[in-house]
């Protein structure tokens, strides 16, 4: 079968590898869609901290079951997968947090992923399609990332939440925060993306982070209280370091975005707010089910995300362009 291998930063090669063989407690899935994530882009750039080469990318997946020994599924079922393979025995797993398992293997990051025609996956990580189409199912995982961050934040109706970064994960986070009843403020440096957030997502307000009066705008929007939650979805060091200045006293600062360097805050700024700082890693089955329920209910519009579509044979040709903001890519979707 055909696969696409990231052999080194900025190097892709198509190759032929054997098709997977049936294994007990595993399903073989014919891949239909692969969503391109920021993690994939960073891996291609060489800036993903949990990555080694060569690697087959792809963890935002949907497909059709062609072999399975689990009676909960049948041949022909449309599914997505939870790509976070956990050990089941470490302290995180024992406490119900397999998303941050000490020995985690993320499909397409720590181990080879789904950028190929067929994959074999342990059946415990399969998620029923529940009538969603393949495009929608490939969006469940990135939306679940946002859902997990929102759940970590413990948002309440009418809370002001500032989401920094209007990329795919940030946009999904905004939508899931709005579903919770919060008033969402979008902060980014890209005016096109901010316009999209205002017109397509209906966020409460948008602010350009390069504006000298961005802080004053946030104060005015929140009646000088400031957002009770700030969520970073950029993975940008400067954005992470600055985000605390937008946070209310007693607020939560949630880091979904990831980058390699050490971040730092002024201790007095952090301390005086009694800030709760938390990371948000991956997602849980609860988050996947929450996203699927909201997609089925029409509370999330998948058309807001997919801006570029390519065939599997075109990925190598187009991938580099998706790093450039001027291409306007939010979510590229690969069709197999």
Average the pLDDT over 29-42 and give the result. Answer: 92
326: confidence class by pLDDT, cuts 50, 70, 90: confident
When the candidates are 3.40.50.720, 3.40.1710.10, 3.90.950.20, 3.40.1640.10, the CATH number that belongs to 147-279 is: 3.40.50.720
Please say if the pLDDT value at position 203 is more than 80. Answer: yes
Looking at the predicted structure, is the pLDDT value of residue 202 above 90?
no
pLDDT at 47 over 80: no
pLDDT of residue 204: 95
- 3-class DSSP state of 14: strand
Q: Is the pLDDT of residue 116 over 80?
A: yes
**Given pLDDT bands bounded at 50, 70 and 90, which one contains residue 54?**
very high
CATH architecture of 2-129+305-335: Alpha-Beta Complex (3.90)
Helix, strand, or coil here: 97?
Answer: coil
Query: How much is the pLDDT for 43?
Result: 87
What pLDDT is stored for residue 45 in this prediction? 87
pLDDT tier for residue 328 given thresholds of 50, 70 and 90: confident
The DSSP bridge pattern shows strands 11-16 and 2-8 to be: antiparallel
Percent of the chain past pLDDT 70, that is, above it, reads 100
Tell me: pLDDT of 36 over 80. Answer: yes
pLDDT beyond 90 at 267: yes
Q: What's the pLDDT tens digit per position in 235-258?
A: 899 999 999 999 999 999 999 998
Alpha carbon distance 45, 8 (integer Å): 9
What are 175-191's pLDDT values in tens digits? 999 999 999 999 999 99
CA dist., res. 46 & res. 240, Å (int): 20
* pLDDT given at position 127: 97
50 has pLDDT over 80:
no
Task: Render pLDDT for 123-169 as a digit per residue (tens, 0 to 9).
Answer: 999 999 999 999 999 999 999 999 999 999 999 999 999 999 998 89
Q: Is the pLDDT of residue 11 over 80?
A: yes
Q: pLDDT grade, residue 260 (50/70/90)?
A: confident
Task: Tell me the sheet residues that pair with 3.
Answer: 15, 116
Mean pLDDT of the chain: 94
Long-range contacts of 194-197 (CB under 8 A, 24+ apart): 194/166, 196/166, 196/171, 196/304, 196/330, 197/166, 197/171
Residue 147 pLDDT: 97
Token output for 282: 């991956």
**Above 90 in pLDDT, residue 285?**
yes
Q: What is the pLDDT of residue 210?
A: 94
**pLDDT at residue 281, as a whole number:** 96
Sign of CA dihedral 52, 42, 282, 66: negative
Query: Where exactly are the structural domains of the chain?
Result: 2-129+305-335, 147-279
pLDDT of residue 144: 97
pTM: 0.93
Residue 48's pLDDT is what? 77
């Amino acid at each position: 079968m055909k696969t696409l291998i990231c052999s080194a930063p900025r190097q892709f090669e198509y190759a032929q590898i054997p098709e997977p063989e049936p294994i007990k407690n595993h399903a073989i899935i014919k891949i239909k869609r692969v969503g391109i994530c920021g993690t994939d882009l960073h891996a291609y750039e060489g800036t993903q901290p949990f990555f080694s080469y060569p690697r087959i990318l792809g963890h935002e997946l949907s497909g059709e079951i062609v072999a399975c020994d689990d009676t909960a599924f049948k041949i022909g079922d449309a599914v997505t997968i939870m790509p976070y393979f956990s050990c089941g025995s470490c302290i995180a797993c024992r406490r119900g947090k397999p998303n941050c398992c000490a020995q985690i293997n993320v499909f397409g990051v720590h181990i080879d992923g789904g950028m190929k025609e067929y994959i074999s996956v342990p059946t415990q990580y399969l998620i029923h399609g529940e009538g969603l189409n393949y495009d929608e199912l490939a969006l469940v995982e990135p939306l679940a990332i946002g859902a997990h961050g929102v759940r970590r934040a413990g948002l309440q109706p009418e809370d002001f939440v500032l989401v920094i970064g209007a990329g795919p994960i940030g946009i999904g986070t905004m939508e899931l925060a709005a579903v919770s009843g919060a008033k969402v403020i979008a902060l980014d440096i890209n005016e096109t993306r901010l316009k999209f957030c205002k017109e397509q997502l209906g966020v409460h307000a948008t602010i350009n982070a390069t504006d000298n009066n961005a802080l004053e705008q946030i104060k005015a929007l929140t009646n000088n209280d400031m957002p009770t939650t700030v969520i970073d979805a950029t993975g940008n060091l400067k954005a992470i370091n600055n985000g605390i200045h937008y946070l209310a006293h007693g607020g939560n600062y949630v880091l979904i975005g990831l980058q390699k360097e050490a971040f730092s805050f002024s201790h007095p700024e952090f301390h005086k707010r009694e800030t709760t700082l938390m990371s948000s890693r991956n997602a849980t089955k609860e988050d996947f089910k929450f996203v699927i329920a909201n997609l089925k209910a029409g509370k999330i519009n998948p058309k807001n995300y997919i801006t570029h579509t390519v065939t599997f044979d075109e990925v190598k040709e187009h991938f580099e362009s998706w790093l450039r903001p001027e291409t306007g890519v939010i979510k590229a979707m690969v069709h197999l």
